[in-house]
Amino acid sequence: MAEFTMELNEEQREVRDWLHGFAADVIRPAAAEWDEREETPWPVIQEAAKVGIYSLDFYAQQYFDPTGLGIPMAMEELFWGDAGIALSIVGTGLAAVGVLANGTEEQIGTWIPQMYGDANDVKVAAFCSSEPDAGSDVASMRTRAVYDEAKDEWILNGTKTWATNGGIANVHVVVAVVDPELGSKGHASFIVPPNTPGLSQGQKFKKHGIRASHTAEVVLEDVRVPGSCLLGGKEKLDERLARARERAKAGGERVKNAAMATFEASRPAVGAMAVGTARAAYEVALDYAKSREQFGRPIIDNQGVAFQLADMRTSVDAARLLVWRASWMAINGKQFTAAEGSQSKLFASETAKKVTAQAIQILGGNGYTREYPVERMHRDAAIYTIFEGTSEVQRLVIARTLSGMPIR
């Protein structure tokens, strides 16, 4: 187990500085343009691919950092640059992780390279889980996958929503119901290869924030995929379903809590994204308060402004510490006995909303215009209290964990 320290080591500092440089020199100058265009920033993704940031190798190196701080550090720096562009860069990772977690070695080797492409021909992938009537309530999922044994094919029907890169992806990873009686344990994940008939993009959402990230519905109409596209394979699925049925008879809560533990482990990464956005807004506000003069002195000399900045900095640093704690616990196999993953996501996401709003207030009328980035940062920050479980869901998870009640 890695020894805990509050300091990044030399290698981590080098990676952080490298990412910060890319965010400052490439992402941030392009942020306003792609926010206005509301399009996928392909040139920026290509630049990220050229330097090695947009690749599975990079994220694997950060994921396996024994301190657990690689991923949160990377997310904070990229999202410090711009949340919309950063999500376009890291969004493919959602699908890649789905394959890594559930796929066979052959599936991993076949599909993940097709998700990223290369620096000359970048591709993206989409992870499709949420549905119009099944967001936080994953047990209400309706997309069905039916096995055609004669042809060794799975037939997928349903509609997915809020899919990052949905419809424009080279590879889609789709979660579907294979046994409705088992709730969330009756789900399986499928690869939908490029140009598969029956898969189409539905509504593309025009969003309040993170506009440079493509978000859309994915419609599946009699989509047939080979049996080899079931992640993990049919034999493994049948064994898992049989175990789930036995556990459900013995006491279903144990099954549900195991599923919730998976979500807990992923939430610190979203918290780190929120920390990056909050830190960016704080820094803009701090620089502005030092240079903006009113009544013959910088506005930071006014206690009302100075105290806001003190609170902003304290909240950002506290959020980072909660994210780092949860990330360190996850990599070292520490059990989240107080829903520490949800704690980090809840506090960091609420901090991002509050700090970006305070930044607008400090900049006054300038902060309300698109001439300054805090207006965009505030719009972007709203997503953190919504995706990967709303703040209300995080509070519910934390409360139920503390009380010993089952997490449904």
Q: Which two three-digit tokens encode residue 164?
A: 């990052």
Q: Is 235 a catalytic residue?
A: no
Phi-psi region of 133 (alpha: psi -120 to 50; beta: other; left: phi over 0): alpha
Q: Give backbone dihedrals phi and psi of 52, rounded to 5 degrees, phi first.
A: 100, 5
Please give the Cα distance from 390 to 374 (Å, whole number): 23
Please give the Cα distance from 274 to 377 (Å, whole number): 10
Q: Which long-range contacts (CB under 8 A, 24 or more apart) does 27-30 make?
A: 27/78, 27/81, 27/82, 27/85, 27/86, 28/81, 28/82, 28/373, 30/82, 30/85
Which residues have a Cβ under 8 Å from the Cβ of 91 and sit 6 or more positions away? 124, 126, 164, 165, 213
Please give the Cα distance from 331 to 346 (Å, whole number): 20
Closest CA to 323 of 271, 264, 277, 263: 271
Catalytic residue, candidates 153, 221, 388, 392: 388
Residue 219 pairs with which residues in a beta bridge? 159, 200
Which residues have a Cβ under 8 Å from the Cβ of 159 and sit 6 or more positions away? 131, 132, 143, 202, 217, 218, 219, 220
Instruction: Catalogue the active-site residues.
Output: 388
